[in-house]
Structures are given as structure tokens and as C-alpha cells.
């Protein structure tokens, strides 16, 4: 096997984050150096607890989990219990975690890990508001060359927003952090709503996880059953979009995805459109192409990968 890809997963679990973490922990191609929790879908005390619950569900209790930013860089925290439930991981009944939370702050872990890494050695997988990442880059710009790539779920153009008409949740919660990340100069791959809205948790797909007959399969089906209800009602579809696991799936099977390198900037001023990702898909400006913006996915291939990998846990 080729050398394992070193990754840090920054996350706000969140049912879809949970499935992304399961996919990463089930995939030998990836070496998860740490999981850093951030406030987002629910407050930090819950996102870090949920991250540990998922590691225990996966049977990977040696995974290092860190707690990071308790709030966005500038704006007040906005959470999404209306989607994820009051625990942020509603659906399955997962026991409180017994594995420890690491004492080091997540931002210190990110900075220290990258400072000790080789150039282009670590990929940052960003599944929630980008607060931890931006704080690390601002505090220690010397770590930038060590970042191989930033792969993030967030934003949207053709699908508009899911939190305001203009903004997707991760970017909306911390637009100032997203602005730091999009301007950082390192390779960025973005998986926006334009893509994730093509990955619906249809009844057949959720039933396939349940048919695994495993604890992970049952928990995944319960996570998705709960998570999808809000978007099913909103969009009138069979199932809801499954966002975050696409970040990990892209690392494993980039052939399932298509997009183009374009300019993406973030609105940080206007209250009407704050958090909007202004994506120059048609190249109407001369702004530099800073993002590999993925718009299309083989959704059957994505779910086949997900099922095959989760069956291993």
C-alpha cells in the first residue's frame, strides 16, 4: 500500500460529521492524526463529546480528540439543533464516552502537529465552521507550507444557501474564519451544497446501512433517519443531502468527483448576504483561482464506497 495520507479532521458533530469520521476511521489509506472539535451544529461541549462517542462506536478509542473554539472569531455562535437535535447526535442511543478528551487545546494541537510535520505532509479535513483552522493559521503562519491541502465542506452557488438564502451553515457561522482560509494560499478543495444536494439519503440507501446488521450499520441508519427529516420536509425529496462524508470520500476516490479551479471569496460585511461564497464559476472576473470547486459527484459510487467501508467497522 502507498504511504498513508496524514489528516486532521476538524468537525462539529453533527450526524453527517459522524458518518464522515466513521468513513475516515474505516479507511486504511488515511492516518487520522487527530480530531479537533469546534462549536457549530451544537455547542463545543457537545461536539467534542459526540466526536468521542463516534470514535468509540468505530472501536477506535485510541484516536486523539481535542476541543477547540467555543465560538466564532467575531460573530456570536449560531447552532443548528433544529437539524441535529439537542444532543447534536440524535437518532441512535450512544453511551457517554469513556475515552479521554485530550487536555491540549485543538488550535495548539493543529499548530504543534504542523510545526513538527514535513512540507506538504498534512491534509486538513474541515467539516464545520472554520474557526479552529483560521485561528491556527493566524497564530502561526509558519505552518502554511506544512498544509498539503485543505478539503472542506461548505458554501454553495447554484443551490444558494441553506441557512440564509445566500449562505451555507459552515460559512455562515464563521465567515471571518472562512475568509482567512480562502485567502491562505494553500490548495483548497471545496465540497459545496451544489454537490452535496446530489447525495440524498434515500430510503433504499439508509436501509442498506441497516441491512449490514452491525452496530455501526444500525447506528448509521439511525443517524441518517433523524438527520434527513428536516431537509426532506424542506426540499420535498426522498432523503436529505449528506454533506460531510464527501470530504473524506474525495480523498479516497477523487474519480467520483468533478469540478473546476475558480475564485471563491466570502462576504463578511453585508448582513443580507454574510457568509455567501461568491464563486466565480463562469470566470467573469480576473480574480485568482484559489479553490478546486467540486460541483458533480457519482452519488451511487459515493454510497457504495460508504457502505463498503462502514461494513468493515
Binding site for Ca ion (CB under 5 A): 12, 14, 17, 127-128, 244
Task: Compute the C-alpha angle 201/203/209, nearest 5°.
Answer: 75
Binding mask 27-66 for ligand RIB (x = CB under 6 A): -------------xx-------------------------
Stretch that binds ligand RIB, among 91-99, 141-149, 168-176, 298-306 (CB under 6 A): 168-176
Q: Name which of 169 and 263 has its Cβ closer to Ca ion.
A: 169
**Residue count at the site for ligand RIB (CB under 6 A)?**
15
The answer to whether 197 contacts ligand RIB (rule: CB under 6 A) is no
Which of 132, 162, 246, 290 is the binder for ligand RIB (CB under 6 A)? 162
C-alpha cell read off for 80? 443548528
Which of 146, 205, 243, 309 is the binder for ligand RIB (CB under 6 A)? 243
Least distance in angstroms from the C-beta of 119 to ligand RIB: 29
168 binds, among Ca ion, ligand RIB, none (CB under 5 to 8 A by kind): ligand RIB
The answer to whether 231 contacts ligand RIB (rule: CB under 6 A) is no
The answer to whether 174 contacts ligand RIB (rule: CB under 6 A) is no
Q: Which helix (H) or strand (E) holds 22?
A: helix 15-25
Q: Answer whether 8's CB lies under 8 Å from 33's CB.
A: yes
Q: Which helix (H) or strand (E) holds 213?
A: none
Least distance in angstroms from the C-beta of 264 to ligand RIB: 16
34 binds, among Ca ion, ligand RIB, none (CB under 5 to 8 A by kind): none
Active site residues: 243
Least distance in angstroms from the C-beta of 174 to Ca ion: 12
Write the DSSP symbol of residue 204: H
The answer to whether 194 contacts ligand RIB (rule: CB under 6 A) is no
The answer to whether 14 contacts ligand RIB (rule: CB under 6 A) is yes
For cell 499548530, name the residue.
Answer: 111
Q: Answer whether 177's CB lies under 8 Å from 129's CB.
A: yes
Q: Name which of 127 and 137 has its Cβ closer to ligand RIB.
A: 127
Q: Name which of 225 and 244 has its Cβ closer to Ca ion.
A: 244
Q: Name which of 16 and 265 has its Cβ closer to ligand RIB.
A: 16
**Alpha helices, DSSP H, located in 140-254:** 169-173, 175-182, 193-196, 203-210, 215-235, 245-252
Torsion of CA 132, 291, 80, 304, to 10 degrees: -110
DSSP characters for 227-291? HHHHHHHHHT-SS-B--THHHHHHHH-GGGEEEEEE-EEE--S-TTTTT-EEE-TT--S-----E
Nearest to 266 by CA among 91, 75, 105: 75
Amino acid at each position: 500500500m502507498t504511504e498513508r495520507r496524514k489528516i486532521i479532521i476538524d468537525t462539529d458533530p453533527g450526524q453527517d460529521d459522524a458518518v464522515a469520521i466513521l468513513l475516515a476511521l474505516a479507511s486504511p489509506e488515511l492516518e487520522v492524526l487527530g480530531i479537533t472539535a469546534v462549536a457549530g451544529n451544537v455547542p463545543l461541549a457537545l461536539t467534542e463529546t459526540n466526536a468521542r462517542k463516534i470514535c468509540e462506536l468505530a472501536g477506535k478509542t485510541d484516536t486523539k480528540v481535542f476541543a477547540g473554539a467555543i465560538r466564532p472569531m467575531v460573530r456570536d455562535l449560531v447552532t443548528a439543533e433544529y437539524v441535529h437535535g439537542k444532543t447534536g447526535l440524535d437518532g441512535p442511543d450512544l453511551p457517554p464516552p469513556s475515552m479521554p478528551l485530550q487536555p491540549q487545546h485543538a488550535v495548539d494541537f493543529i499548530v504543534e502537529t504542523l510545526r513538527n510535520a514535513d512540507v506538504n505532509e498534512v491534509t486538513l479535513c474541515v467539516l464545520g465552521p472554520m474557526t479552529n483552522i483560521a485561528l491556527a493559521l493566524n497564530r502561526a503562519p509558519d505552518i502554511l507550507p506544512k498544509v498539503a491541502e485543505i478539503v472542506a465542506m461548505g458554501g454553495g452557488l447554484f443551490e444558494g444557501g441553506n441557512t440564509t438564502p445566500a449562505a451555507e451553515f459552515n460559512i455562515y457561522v464563521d465567515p471571518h474564519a472562512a475568509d482567512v482560509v480562502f485567502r491562505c494560499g494553500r490548495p483548497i478543495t471545496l465540497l459545496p451544497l451544489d454537490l452535496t444536494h446530489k447525495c440524498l439519503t434515500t430510503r433504499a440507501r439508509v436501509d442498506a446501512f441497516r441491512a449490514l446488521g452491525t452496530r455501526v450499520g444500525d447506528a448509521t441508519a439511525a443517524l441518517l433517519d433523524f438527520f434527513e427529516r428536516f431537509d426532506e420536509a424542506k426540499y420535498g425529496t426522498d432523503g436529505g443531502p449528506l454533506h460531510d462524508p464527501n470530504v473524506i470520500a474525495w480523498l479516497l476516490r477523487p474519480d467520483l468527483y468533478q469540478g473546476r479551479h475558480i475564485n471563491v471569496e466570502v462576504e463578511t460585511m453585508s448582513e443580507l448576504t454574510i457568509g455567501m461564497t461568491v464563486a466565480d464559476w463562469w470566470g467573469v472576473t480576473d480574480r485568482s483561482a484559489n479553490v478546486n470547486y467540486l460541483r458533480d459527484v457519482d452519488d451511487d459510487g459515493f454510497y457504495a464506497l460508504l457502505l463498503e467501508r462502514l461494513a468493515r467497522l
